Amino acid sequence: MRGGGIVRRLAARAVADVDVLVLAHGDTGAGEVVLPGAQQCSGLQIGPPGLLAQLAPGPLARGLPARQPSAGHGPVDSDLLVVVPEEEDRAVGVEDGNTRRATGFSHPGTLARDGPVTASQGGEPTLCRMTTDPVDWPSTAAGGFPFPDGVSPALIADGLSDLLVDADPEVRDARAYTALARWAREGHLDGVLERLGDTAAERFTHPEVQARTFAPLVLRCVLDRAGAVPGLVPEAAVRRWYAGFASWYPSERETRGWDDSLGWLHAVAHGADAAAAFARRLPEERTGLLDLCARRFTAPHTDYRYEQLEDARLARAITGILLAPGLTAEQAAGWLSVVTDALAGGGPGPVPPWAFNTFATLQALHLHLTRGLAEGGVPPHAVHVADRVAAVLRLPCGWLA
Residues 170, 154: Cα–Cα separation, whole Å: 23
Write out pLDDT tens, residues 159-195.
Answer: 999 999 999 999 999 999 999 999 999 999 999 999 9
What's the pLDDT score for residue 103? 34
Beta bridge partners of 33: 28, 74
Write out pLDDT tens, residues 244-287.
Answer: 999 999 999 999 999 999 999 999 999 999 999 999 999 999 99
Residues 326, 341: Cα–Cα separation, whole Å: 26
Write out pLDDT tens, residues 94-135.
Answer: 333 333 333 332 333 333 333 333 444 444 444 443 445 677
What's the pLDDT score for residue 348? 84
What's the pLDDT score for residue 72? 42
Write out pLDDT tens, residues 199-249.
Answer: 999 999 999 999 999 999 999 999 999 999 999 999 999 999 999 999 999
Asked if residues 379 and 369 have their Cβ atoms less than 8 Å apart, the reply is: yes
Residues 269, 272: Cα–Cα separation, whole Å: 5
Stated as kind and residue range, the H or E segment containing 8 is helix 4-11
Mean pLDDT, range 285-305, rounded to an integer: 97
Asked if residues 28 and 35 have their Cβ atoms less than 8 Å apart, the reply is: yes
Beta bridge partners of 117: 28, 94
DSSP symbol at 145: -
Beta bridge partners of 92: 103
Residues 239, 254: Cα–Cα separation, whole Å: 25
Comma-separated ranges of CATH 1.25.10 domains in the chain: 137-393
Preceding omega of 125 cis (within 30 degrees of 0): no
CATH code that applies to domain 137-393: 1.25.10
